[in-house]
């Protein structure tokens, strides 16, 4: 009898595997009501004691638009017609990046008391931070259309292109969410991450077409650089490599969807590209998938640190 007992296989008390990506998405959807409430709370708390409210989220991009327009027109002596119009969509889209990603980065640490008291998918905190910033992006895009209408660009020169925002804005949100999930989990384990995010966004400012149009990157790819290996391997693919950056490609898509081709910029205007839209969506989906996978791997270790 004792031999039979000794030969039996040990009983596994808990052999549950990770729920998987699909199960995680289903659980997030079940808690969508809580997600919306968290988003509303973020918006209300941000402007709780503010007189101007949402206007403060628009102030910085508007000031930068004014400064860059003045520098371009009077210092750099580039007489591009309605250049401020080309800055409006990209500046507000860039402001979404610079606000949403840091907010998502700190979303777990800023809600430690809530995490300790009740169970819910921890991804909700990151998503709610994204949705709160999406509210400001939608408001800013409305202001952009009003400004373009005042200049006579919309709807005379651009009309149905506005519908492309229904494809561009979701792609931008997916990129932000994927990156936000990664930095949110890492920020709990290493609090230096939030400083790295700030520095990274400052560096990225010079790697996206805000201070300069995308046409300048295309023009640089046509010049001879004088270095054989650069001319042979990098220069012919410079524009394609540049647009692999979803930060840059999304801003280009905003400009091409909402504005006519740029004039008097010293180089040929690039047209709207469905291929670029498809490439951006592919990068966005891959970024989101990796972000969800990475967050799922680290979230319980991160929660134990809280």
Instruction: Give per-residue pLDDT as tens, 167-202.
Output: 999 999 999 999 999 999 999 988 889 999 999 999
Instruction: Give per-residue pLDDT as tens, 246-294.
Output: 999 999 999 999 888 876 655 678 888 999 999 999 999 999 999 999 9
Count of residues for the chain? Answer: 306
| Residue 5 predicted with pLDDT over 50 | no
| Residue 165 predicted with pLDDT over 90 | yes
What is the pLDDT, as a whole number, of residue 261? 80
What is the pLDDT, as a whole number, of residue 10? 47
Instruction: Give per-residue pLDDT as tens, 205-244.
Output: 999 998 888 888 888 888 887 788 777 788 888 889 999 9
What is the pLDDT, as a whole number, of residue 53? 61
What is the pLDDT, as a whole number, of residue 213? 84
What is the pLDDT, as a whole number, of residue 275? 95
pTM: 0.86
- Please state the domain extents for the chain: 51-305
Helix H, strand E, coil C: the string for the chain is CHHHHHHCCCCCCCCCCCCCHHHHHHHHHHCHHHHHHHHHHHHHHHCCCCCCCCHHHHHHHHHHHHHHHHHHHHHCCCCCCCHHHHHHHHHHHHHHHHHHHHHHHCCCHHHHHHHHHCCCCCHHHHHHHHHHHHHHHHHHHHHHHHHHHHHCCCCCCCCHHHHHHHHHHHHHHHHHHHHHHHHHHHHHHCCCHHHHHHHHHHHHHHHCCCCCCHHHHHHHCCCCCCCHHHHHHHHHHHHHHHHCCHHHHHHHHHHHHHCCCCCCCCCCCCCCCHHHHHHHHHHHHHHHHHHHHHHHHHHHHHHHHC
Evaluate whether 189 touches 105 at the Cβ level (below 8 Å). no
What is the pLDDT, as a whole number, of residue 253? 95
Q: What is the mean pLDDT of residues 126-144?
A: 92
Q: Which of 106, 66, 95 is nearest to 302 (CA)?
A: 106
């Amino acid at each position: 009898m004792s031999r039979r007992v000794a030969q039996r296989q040990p009983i596994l008390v808990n052999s549950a595997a990770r729920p998987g990506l699909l199960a995680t998405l289903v659980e997030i959807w079940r808690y969508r009501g809580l997600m919306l409430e968290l988003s509303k709370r973020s918006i209300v708390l941000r402007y709780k004691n503010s007189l101007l409210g949402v206007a403060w989220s628009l102030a910085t991009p508007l000031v930068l638009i004014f400064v860059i327009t003045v520098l371009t027109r009077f210092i750099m002596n580039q007489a591009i017609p309605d250049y401020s119009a080309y800055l409006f969509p990209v500046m507000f889209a860039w402001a979404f990046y610079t606000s949403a990603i840091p907010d998502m980065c700190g979303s777990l640490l800023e809600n430690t008391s809530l995490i300790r008291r009740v169970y819910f998918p921890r991804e909700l905190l990151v998503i709610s931070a994204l949705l709160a910033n999406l509210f400001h992006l939608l408001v800013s895009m409305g202001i952009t259309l009003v400004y373009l209408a005042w200049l006579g660009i919309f709807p005379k020169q651009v009309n149905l292109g506005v519908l492309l925002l229904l494809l561009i804005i979701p792609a931008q949100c997916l990129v932000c969410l994927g990156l936000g999930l990664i930095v949110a989990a890492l920020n709990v384990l290493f609090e230096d991450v939030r400083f790295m995010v700030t520095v990274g966004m400052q560096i990225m400012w010079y790697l996206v077409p805000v201070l300069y149009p995308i046409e300048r990157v295309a023009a640089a790819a046509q010049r001879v650089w004088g270095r054989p290996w650069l001319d042979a391997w990098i220069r012919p693919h410079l524009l394609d490599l540049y647009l692999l950056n979803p930060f840059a490609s999304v801003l280009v898509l905003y400009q091409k969807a909402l504005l006519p081709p740029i004039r008097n910029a010293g180089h040929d205007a690039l047209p709207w590209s469905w291929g670029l839209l498809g490439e951006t969506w592919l990068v966005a989906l891959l970024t989101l998938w990796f972000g969800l996978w990475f967050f799922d791997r680290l979230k319980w270790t991160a929660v134990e640190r809280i």
